Structure 1
Amino acid sequence: MADKQTTIYVIDLGKSMGEGPKNGRTETDLEYVLKYVWDKITSTIANGRKTDTIGIVGFRTDGTNNEMVEEDDSYENVSVMSPVKQFLLPDLREMQEKLVPSRVDVGDGISALCIGIQLIMLHCKRLKFIRNICLVTNGRGSFDMDEVEQIKEQIKAEGINLTILGVDFDDEDFGFKEEDKPPKKAKVEESLKKLCEDVGGVFGTIQEAIEELGNPRLKKTRPVASFKGDLTLGDPAQYPNAVTINVERYPRTMVAKPISASSYIMKAEAGEGEEADVSLEAVRQARAYQVDDHDAAGGKMDVDRDQMEKGYTYGKEVVPISSTDETVTLFETEPGLQIVGFIPVENYKRYFSMSSTNAIVGAKGNPKAAMALSSLIHALFELDSYALARLVKKKDTQPLMVVLAPFIDAEFECLIDVEVPFAEDVRAYKFPPLDRVKTVSGKVLDKHRYIPTPDMDKYMSDYVDSMDLSNFGEDEEGNPSEYITVEDTYSPIVHRINQVVRWRAIHPNEPIPPPYEVLLKYSKVPEGLLEKIEDPLGKLIAACDIKVVDPKVTGKRGRREQPAPKSGLDIEALLNEDEPSSTSDAPKKPKKISATNAIPEFKQRFTQTDDLDELISAGQEMLEIIKGLITHSLADTNYARACEMLKVIRDAFTEFDEPEVYNDIIKELKRAIYAEELDGDRVDMWREVRVNKLGLVTAKEGNGRGVEDDEAKAFLWT
C-alpha cells in the first residue's frame, strides 16, 4: 500500500496570465503552466488511489472564496477552486472550465500560499501524509513578504514540500535568462527563490519542468510479502541441530505492465422534453452453457455451471473426472523454504534464471532471525557459493526450485532468490562445431567454405568492437561514458500508453501527440556510430566476398528456375524423343501421372506449366491415386505413402499461392473416408492426416489466402 499524499496547486489566474504568446511560445502564460499542472493531476488520477488527494487554490481571481477573508482583507481575490479530495475525470473537466484568466491583476500570492497551508492542515491533521504545495505564476502580481518568516516556520512544522515554478524565471542551471525583465518581477523572483531555499523547497523555471514531463516517472509501490515462514537447513523434525530461520520474501524486480483497457458502450438517457445525456456504461459479460436436446425449444437446453464436471480427452473419447475425484491428483505440500544443497558461483549459468527476483530478509521484529540470516549470507559470500532451495509459498501449491544468492550493501543485506528449472525442464541440443567440419567418411577438415578464415575472424571482431556502446556516451563533464544505462532505459509501450491516456483525458477531441523523444532515443542508431563502423564493415565485406544476389522470381505466376545439367543437354527433349510426334499444331496434352512414380511426375508437372487448370487436373489425378492406395491398403500399410503424397500436394499449391485447390482436395478425401467409399472403414487414415497436420491451409500459411484457424481446427477434429 502506497503512502497517503496530498498536493495543493496554487495557480496564478491574473489578467496578465492570459496575455498573448511571447518568448517563442504559441500559448498564453496560463495555458503554458497548465500543461504542467494537467500532466501532474492526470498522473495522480491514473493512480486510482483514494489516499492520493488534490486541492486547487487560485489567486488574482475575479471573486473571492476562502475562509480567511473575513479576518484579513489581504485574502481578497483568492479562491479555493477545489477542496482537497480524490480527483476523478469529472473534476478534471470542471477545473478546465474554471481555470481561465481573470479580468483583474489584484490578489496576493503569499496569501494564496497561506490558504494552501490551511487546506493541508485541515485535511491531514496530525496523520501521516506526504504534503506538497506547488505554486505556479508569471511573477507579475503581488507577493507580500511582510510575514514570510512565520510562513516559513509553518511550512517546516507541517513538513510541507514546497515547489515554486515561474514563467520565464531565470535559471542558471537550466541555462535560461529573460532579457529586459521588469524590476518588479525580478524582485518577486528573488524573494520566492529565498523562500524556497529557506524551507528546503524546489525553485525553478516552468520551461525546465515542462521539458522534463517527457521523462517517465517511476511508480513506487510498497512491497507485499509473497512468503512468510521458516528457512531451514536440515529437517528440524528429525535433527535437533537443524537450522531454522524465520524469514519473509518480498519482490525485488517485477515486470511493469501497461494499464489495461475495458469495454464500454455509449448510452443515452432522456426524459420527455429533455436532451439525451450521452455517457459511457461498462459492458457486463454473461455466460450461458447449453447442450443438444431435441426435446427442448430450439434444440438446446441450458445447463447450470454447478451441474458440469471436467472432462479430459483420452484418444477420441472424453473421460469425465468429478471435482471430488480430482483431489487425488493434487500434490500435497506444506509451506516452507528448505535448503537442499550448495553450488559454486562459477557452476551457475545465467540462462538457468526463469523468473524475476525476490529478496529474502529476516522476519520483522525478530533480531535473532536477522542475525542468523546475516551469518548465512556472509558464509555464502565468503565461500563464493549459492544455495539451492525448495520453495512452497502456500499449502498444496506446487514446489519451486530457487537459487539463493547473497547480497551485501552498506546498510542492507539479504538473499536474492530466482526460480531455476527442474532437470525435466532442460532440453539439451547438439550443434556442429564452428571451427571444423566433419565429412561423411569421418575426416575432419579445418579449411572449408563454412569455416571463417583468420582475416574474417579479425575483421568481424573489429566490426563488433566498433559498435561498442559502453563508452559511446558522454557524462556531464564531457568524458566517455556508457551510452545506454539501465536507469535511463524505459519501456516504450508502458509509458506511451500512459502518455496517450493522460492526453486524451485533457484533450478529448484533439489528435494524439507523437511519443516523447526519450522513448525513441534507443530505437535509432546513435549519431556518429554509422561513420565509425563504415571502415570495419567495408573490410569485413571484402574479406567475406559478399555480393548482391539477384532476387529469384517467386509466386504463383513465376516458374521456379530449375538447375541446368553440366552437359548442357535438354533433358526434357531426351525423355520425350521416343514419343510419337504430332502433326497437329494444337498444344500437346500432358501425360497422365502414373501411380508408380506419382510424386516426381507431379513435381515435374509444376515445372512444365503455369496453367492453373492443368495444375488442378494434376491435383485431381493425385487424389485418385491416393484414393486407390487407401482402397487397396492392407490395414494401414499404404497410409504413410498416401500422407507423403498429400504433403507434396499441400506444399506445391501453397507455394503456388493457390491453397484453395488443396483445400478442395482434402475435403473430398475426408468425405470419401467417412462415407466409407474406400473399401469400408478407413477412419484410421484420417487420424494419420491429423497427426501429420495435413488439414486445410490457413490464411496465415497461405499469405492471406486460406481458411481461418478455427475452421481448420474444426475440420481436423470433427
Structure 2
Amino acid sequence: MAGKEATIYIVDVGATTAECHSGRLESDLDFGMRYVWDKITEIMASERKSFTVGIVGFRTDETLNEQYDQADTYDDKESYKNISVFKKLEQMTMSDLQPLQQKIQASNNSEGDAISAVVVAIPLMEKHTMLKSGKPGKYKRKIVLLTDGQGNISDDEVGPIAQKLNELEIEIAIIGIDFDDDDYGFKEEDKDDNKRRNENILKELADGCTESLFATAAEAIESLAKPKVKATKPYITYEGPLKLGNDAEYPETAMVIDVKRYFRTKLAKAPSARSMAITKTDALGSSLEDVKTSYSYEVNDPEAPGGKRSLQREELDKGYLYGSTVVHINESELNETVLETTQSFEIIGFIPNDNYDRFLTMGESCITIAQPTNEKAVMALSSLIHALHELGSYAVARFVPKENKPPQLLLLAPCIEPDMEALVDIPLPFAEDVRLYRFAPLDRLFTTSGTILKSHKYLLPSEELTKAMGDYMDSMDLSELGTDDDGNPTEYMMIDDLYNPHIHRLNQAIRRKAISNETVGEPAEILVRYREPPQTLKDQTKSNLATLKRVANVQKVPDKVVGVGKSKRRKQATPLSNLNINELVAAGSEPAKRTKIDPANVIPDFKYMLENPPVTEEAEHAFFTTTCKQLGAIIRSTLETSFKLPIVGGGPREKGLDRASEFLSIMRAGMSGLETPTIYNDYILGLKKWLLADVENVDGKQFFLDYIKRKKLGLISAEEIDMRTFLEVSAAKAEDFYRLTLELPDRTVKAEEDS
C-alpha cells in the first residue's frame, strides 16, 4: 500500500462505561481509551499529513451525523440517534487533542447502536479516500470500534455492512472491554445475557470481513507495550555505474555495471527536543511558544563607546588555530582547499577474507544491487558476486556520493540469498582514523630495580585459571537458553526482540504527557527484560563463578576514604549502578582483615588497613601508628635501594624515588583525613633527620628538596586541618620544616621577644 492511512475510531461513551469492573480502579471508558489515545498519539508523532484520524462517538447525549439529518422516516432517524461525529477525517494536531478529551466522557445516555455507528463511519471514510472515478484510492483504511458491549445492538444489517467494508477494503478492529477471549485466556464471570448477545453480533461482523480483528481490551492494551519499529522507505544513496578498471583508456578490459545503492543499517535516533517558553497556564494546560535565539558579537575598540564595538554575523570571518596563534583564511581562499571530486563508485582492489581485521569496520552499512530492468547489469553483478564468494575475497572501492564530496573507502562483501544477490559495503578507516595504543606486555614484568620477571601473579594466567574462565564462559551460553512456541530450545534474546530502550521509553513518555499530566509511569517490561541475566543462567553459572573467584584469588578492594574525621572515615561511595560491589566480590564471605602491608601491593593494603581499624579508640590509634611504621619502613627501604642505582633519565632509580614520594603522599593524606596528624609529623621529622644527618649523603638532600619540599609533603599544620586547639604545629613552623637544618627555630620564644 501507499504511504497513506485513514483511521476512524468509534468510541462507546454510554453511561455504563463510567463503571469500574474486573477489579480496576479506573472506569471502563478510561481503561479502553488507553489503547485509542496511544494509537492516536503514535499517529501524531509521525508528523505525516497523509495519516488522518476521525472520531465517532455513540450512546452520546446529543446526535450529530449526516445520516440522522438525511433520514426520511422516524425509524431511520431512531437508528442513527445518539451518534455524534466528534472529528472528521483529517490530520490530528495537539489543538484537536485537548477538545476531544473533553468530548470523550461518559454520557448520561444508554441508547445508541454500535452497528449504526459503523454505518456512519463508512461514508466518512468513503468521501475522504475514494477517487472521483469511484474506485478506492491508495489508502490503508481502518475502523476501530471500542465498546463495553452494553446497550442495544441491532443485527439486521450485519451481513451487508460487512460486504460494504470488504468492497471498500476497510479493515475493522473491534476492541471489547471485558469481552471473552479464549486465545488470550480471559472470560468474564457472571456476564449478563444482553452483553453476551452483543458480543456475538460484533463477532459475526468481524468474521464477515476479509481483514478484521476481534480482541478483548486487556489484550489490546497489553500489545501497546511492544514497540512499533518505524518502517522506512528504501533510500537510494547512489545510482550510477560501478566500475572495475579504466573504461576511458581501456574500454575493452574495463567493467561497468549500472547499480543502485541503498542503506542496509541506519542509526535510529531518539526524538529531538527544542527550547520552548511557557507563556500561560489555563484550564487546558500550559501553552508553549517557540523562542528565538540571537547572538551578539563584540570586539575591543578603544574608540567605541564603552570600549566595545558590536559586529554582525556577516562581518565575521574564520580563523584556524595553529599552535598558540590564529591563522586567517578568507572564504575565497577556503574554497580552494576543497578537494575537487566527481561522483564515482570504483573498485580499486581485492583482499582475501582472512586478511581483513574486523575491528576496522566503522559506520553504517549499505547494499548495492544491479539495476532491476538492466539484464546485462544483473548478469554482470551476479558474476562478480559469485566470484568473490567462491574465492573467499572482498572488494575495496573508492566511493564519492556527490560532486566535490570527500571520498570514502568501502569494503564490498558478497551477499547471496535465495531471492537476492547483492554487495554489502561498510566504510573503511583512513590512516588518521586508526588509533594505535601501546600497553605493557603480558609475558614479562619490569620491576622498579630494572629486573625482568618471567613468572609473577600479574602475568599470563595459569592453565588452571584459563580452564576456570573457559568453563565459566561456556556456562553463560545463550544459544539454547530460550524456548520456541513448541517448547523446543532456541536462542535467547533474539535480535528481533531487542528494542532500543532509550528511544521507545522516551516515545512512551511523550505520548503519555501529550494526553495527560500524570507521571509517565514505569517502562514497559519488554524494554527492561534483558537488563539482567535470566535466573536460569545465574543458577547454572553459580558453581563455575565460585571456582573462578577461588582460582583467580579475587579479594575485596578497599573502599575510598571520603571526607575527614572519624564520623566520615568508613563512608562508602555509592556506585551509580546501585550494585553492591562488596557483596558481588565477597559472595557472602568476609575476607580476613590484613595486619601487614605487602610490599608488592602497598597502596591498596595501606588504604584497606586505615578503613578497617579496631573498634576501640585506644587500639585504633596504636593500629594507625603501627601501620604507618610499616609504610615508613617500606619508604626507607625503597629510598636506600634507589640511591644505590645509577642516575639514568626515567630509569629504575627515578621510578623508585617517585614511588617513595607517592607512598609519603598517601600516608600524609591518610593521617590528615583521619585527624591523626601527629603520627605523620613524627615520622616525617625522623625521615628528614635520616636524609640530612650525613653531610656526604647528597642523594638524601636532593630527595628532600626535589620531592618533599617541592611536593609540599612536610609537617601537617593545625591551620591545614582546623585543629588549632590540639595541634601545636603552626603554619609558620610547618614552613620552617623545609629549611636544610635539622633543628626547627622556636617561633614561640621569638614572638615573645618581639612583643
Same fold (TM over 0.5): yes
**For residue 744 of structure 2, what is the aligned residue in structure 1?**
none
**For residue 314 of structure 2, what is the aligned residue in structure 1?**
306
**For residue 355 of structure 1, what is the aligned residue in structure 2?**
363
Q: Do the aligned partners of residues 185 and 371 (structure 1) sit closer, same or farther apart at CA in structure 2, a change above 3 Å counting?
A: farther
How far is 1:568 from its partner? 10
**For residue 264 of structure 1, what is the aligned residue in structure 2?**
276
Instruction: Judge conservation of contact 2:714–2:737 (CA < 8 Å) in 1.
Output: no
How far is 1:466 from its partner? 2.2
How far is 1:565 from its partner? 2.7
2:422 aligns with one of 414, 422, 426: 414
**For residue 301 of structure 2, what is the aligned residue in structure 1?**
293
Q: 2:233 matched to 1:222? A: yes
Instruction: Judge conservation of contact 1:602–1:618 (CA < 8 Å) in 2.
Output: no
Instruction: Judge conservation of contact 2:7–2:143 (CA < 8 Å) in 1.
Output: yes
**For residue 258 of structure 2, what is the aligned residue in structure 1?**
246
CA distance, structure 2, for counterparts of residue 476 and residue 279 of structure 1: 49
Show structure 1 runs of 5+ residues with no match.
581-592, 626-718
The amino acid that maps onto 1:161 is E
The amino acid that maps onto 1:576 is K
How far is 1:467 from its partner? 2.3
**For residue 593 of structure 2, what is the aligned residue in structure 1?**
none
Moved more, 443-452 or 407-416: 443-452
How far is 1:295 from its partner? 2.2
CA distance, structure 2, for counterparts of residue 623 and residue 227 of structure 1: 73
1:332 aligns with one of 317, 326, 340: 340
CA distance, structure 1, for counterparts of residue 705 and residue 242 of structure 2: 68
Instruction: Judge conservation of contact 2:5–2:52 (CA < 8 Å) in 1.
Output: yes
Q: Do the aligned partners of residues 105 and 246 (structure 1) sit closer, same or farther apart at CA in structure 2, a change above 3 Å counting?
A: same
Deviation track 1:572-609 (CA, whole Å, cap 9, x = no partner) reads 647527999xxxxxxxxxxxx97885222237852653
CA distance, structure 2, for counterparts of residue 576 and residue 438 of structure 1: 32
Moved more, 185-194 or 126-135: 185-194
Q: 2:142 matched to 1:132? A: yes
**For residue 600 of structure 2, what is the aligned residue in structure 1?**
none
Q: Do the aligned partners of residues 617 and 516 (structure 1) sit closer, same or farther apart at CA in structure 2, a change above 3 Å counting?
A: farther
SS at match of 1:394: coil
The amino acid that maps onto 1:12 is D
The amino acid that maps onto 2:341 is T
SS at match of 2:713: helix
SS at match of 2:236: coil
Q: 2:471 matched to 1:457? A: no
Within 5 Å, which residues of 2 pair with 1:134-283?
134-198=144-208, 199-241=210-252, 242-267=254-279, 279-283=287-291
**For residue 631 of structure 2, what is the aligned residue in structure 1?**
563
The amino acid that maps onto 1:232 is K
2:123 aligns with one of 118, 124, 147: 118
**For residue 670 of structure 1, what is the aligned residue in structure 2?**
none
CA distance, structure 2, for counterparts of residue 620 and residue 314 of structure 1: 43
Q: 2:52 matched to 1:41? A: no
Moved more, 558-567 or 84-93: 558-567
How far is 1:92 from its partner? 0.9
Deviation track 1:416-451 (CA, whole Å, cap 9, x = no partner) reads 111111244334445455466689999884675523
How far is 1:372 from its partner? 3.0
CA distance, structure 1, for counterparts of residue 543 and residue 475 of structure 2: 9
How far is 1:36 from its partner? 0.6
Instruction: Judge conservation of contact 1:438–1:445 (CA < 8 Å) in 2.
Output: no
Q: 2:78 matched to 1:78? A: no
CA distance, structure 2, for counterparts of residue 212 and residue 229 of structure 1: 44
SS at match of 1:291: strand
**For residue 59 of structure 2, what is the aligned residue in structure 1?**
60
The amino acid that maps onto 1:482 is E
CA distance, structure 1, for counterparts of residue 99 and residue 684 of structure 2: 85
The amino acid that maps onto 2:713 is F
Within 5 Å, which residues of 2 pair with 1:624-703?
none
Q: Do the aligned partners of residues 378 and 156 (structure 1) sit closer, same or farther apart at CA in structure 2, a change above 3 Å counting?
A: farther
Q: TM (normalized to structure 2)?
A: 0.74
Q: Do the aligned partners of residues 276 and 168 (structure 1) sit closer, same or farther apart at CA in structure 2, a change above 3 Å counting?
A: closer
1:483 aligns with one of 475, 487, 492: 492
The amino acid that maps onto 1:488 is D
The amino acid that maps onto 1:239 is Y
CA distance, structure 1, for counterparts of residue 738 and residue 169 of structure 2: 85
Q: Do the aligned partners of residues 109 and 624 (structure 1) sit closer, same or farther apart at CA in structure 2, a change above 3 Å counting?
A: farther
Moved more, 157-166 or 566-575: 566-575
CA distance, structure 2, for counterparts of residue 128 and residue 623 of structure 1: 89
Moved more, 483-492 or 90-99: 483-492
Q: 2:384 matched to 1:382? A: no
Instruction: Judge conservation of contact 2:714–2:738 (CA < 8 Å) in 1.
Output: no
CA distance, structure 2, for counterparts of residue 212 and residue 358 of structure 1: 32
Instruction: Judge conservation of contact 1:437–1:448 (CA < 8 Å) in 2.
Output: no
Instruction: Judge conservation of contact 1:233–1:338 (CA < 8 Å) in 2.
Output: yes
**For residue 598 of structure 2, what is the aligned residue in structure 1?**
none
CA distance, structure 1, for counterparts of residue 732 and residue 544 of structure 2: 56
Moved more, 432-441 or 154-163: 432-441
Instruction: Judge conservation of contact 2:98–2:284 (CA < 8 Å) in 1.
Output: no
**For residue 609 of structure 1, what is the aligned residue in structure 2?**
716
Q: 2:103 matched to 1:105? A: no
Q: Do the aligned partners of residues 369 and 552 (structure 1) sit closer, same or farther apart at CA in structure 2, a change above 3 Å counting?
A: closer
CA distance, structure 2, for counterparts of residue 438 and residue 141 of structure 1: 87
SS at match of 2:530: helix
Deviation track 1:243-275 (CA, whole Å, cap 9, x = no partner) reads 1122222212111111111111123599xxxx9
How far is 1:178 from its partner? 1.7
Instruction: Judge conservation of contact 1:463–1:536 (CA < 8 Å) in 2.
Output: yes
Deviation track 1:459-483 (CA, whole Å, cap 9, x = no partner) reads 2212222222232223233333222
CA distance, structure 1, for counterparts of residue 523 and residue 148 of structure 2: 29
How far is 1:278 from its partner? 6.7
CA distance, structure 2, for counterparts of residue 400 and residue 567 of structure 1: 57
**For residue 660 of structure 2, what is the aligned residue in structure 1?**
none
CA distance, structure 2, for counterparts of residue 420 and residue 565 of structure 1: 56
Q: 2:482 matched to 1:473? A: yes
Q: 2:705 matched to 1:598? A: yes
**For residue 393 of structure 1, what is the aligned residue in structure 2?**
401
**For residue 689 of structure 2, what is the aligned residue in structure 1?**
576
CA distance, structure 2, for counterparts of residue 335 and residue 616 of structure 1: 73
RMSD over aligned CA atoms reads: 3.5
CA distance, structure 1, for counterparts of residue 496 and residue 733 of structure 2: 63
Instruction: Judge conservation of contact 2:243–2:346 (CA < 8 Å) in 1.
Output: yes
CA distance, structure 2, for counterparts of residue 104 and residue 240 of structure 1: 82
Q: 2:520 matched to 1:507? A: no
SS at match of 1:237: coil
CA distance, structure 2, for counterparts of residue 232 and residue 530 of structure 1: 54
CA distance, structure 1, for counterparts of residue 250 and residue 451 of structure 2: 57
Q: Do the aligned partners of residues 502 and 460 (structure 1) sit closer, same or farther apart at CA in structure 2, a change above 3 Å counting?
A: same
SS at match of 1:261: coil
**For residue 402 of structure 1, what is the aligned residue in structure 2?**
410
Q: Do the aligned partners of residues 622 and 176 (structure 1) sit closer, same or farther apart at CA in structure 2, a change above 3 Å counting?
A: farther
CA distance, structure 1, for counterparts of residue 307 and residue 540 of structure 2: 73
How far is 1:618 from its partner? 10
Moved more, 254-263 or 551-560: 551-560
SS at match of 2:224: helix
CA distance, structure 2, for counterparts of residue 278 and residue 133 of structure 1: 32
The amino acid that maps onto 2:326 is V
How far is 1:114 from its partner? 1.7
CA distance, structure 2, for counterparts of residue 86 and residue 365 of structure 1: 38
SS at match of 1:340: strand
Identity of aligned residues (%): 39
Count, aligned residues: 607
How far is 1:612 from its partner? 5.4
Q: Do the aligned partners of residues 288 and 548 (structure 1) sit closer, same or farther apart at CA in structure 2, a change above 3 Å counting?
A: closer
